[in-house]
Amino acid sequence: MTLPVALYVLLILATGGERIVELIVSKRHAAWAFARGGVEFGQRHFPPMVALHTGLLLACLLELFIVNPPFIPALGWPMLALVFASQALRWWCIASLGPRWNTRVIVVPGLPLVVRGPYRWLSHPNYVIVIAEGIALPLVYTNWVTAVAFTVLNAILLFGFRIPVEEKALKFAVAATPA
């Protein structure tokens, strides 16, 4: 059984729509954090991160229409399941952090670290999800070039910039929390 190209295009567009919803939620949460004395870290890496994630969606479509890869059911269906699982897990992260979740790195001094939901087991569960989704979304329709390019660029951004910024912010949060 094959996945029609039109449904894959709808999946990419729906993912883009979901990202817009994330940005709306993030903006509301940023206002909440700043109203409580929130401190932002790593502002410089945010525009490249947005560009990379936008590029992922555009590259999925470009590779689809330029290369015209086949849909391989043994690859595509499991990758589609992983895409949907990634979305569910992402919203579990968002729900676990509540108004403290953000696409930016903002810490409200004095609040204890969140240790519920997936944060019981991992410091950065959303990045595991982003890595999985960045591989799975292109591979739903065998877009190998996009999957590899995004994975490499995302690894550079995450491990070279974003995670070190978050670790710095977490240390600040712990130091600013009353004992």
Topology given in CATH for the domain delimited by 5-176: Four Helix Bundle (Hemerythrin (Met), subunit A) (1.20.120)
Pick from 133, 129, 127: nearest CA to 147: 133
Segment 109-126, tens digit of pLDDT: 889 889 999 999 998 899
40: part of which helix (H) or strand (E)?
Answer: strand 39-41
Pick from 161, 157, 154, 15: nearest CA to 82: 15
Q: Decide if 93 contacts 126 (C-beta within 8 A).
A: yes
Mean pLDDT over 66-91 rounds to 97
Q: What are the extents of the domains in the chain? A: 5-176
Strand partners, 107: 39
- Arithmetic mean of pLDDT over the chain: 94
Whole-prediction pTM: 0.92
Checking if the pLDDT of 171 tops 90, the result is no
pLDDT at position 175 is 78
Q: Decide if 105 contacts 42 (C-beta within 8 A).
A: yes
Mean pLDDT over 167-176 rounds to 83
Q: Which residues, in sequence order, are CB contacts of 158 under 8 Å at separation 6+?
A: 127, 130, 131
Segment 35-55, tens digit of pLDDT: 999 999 999 999 999 999 999
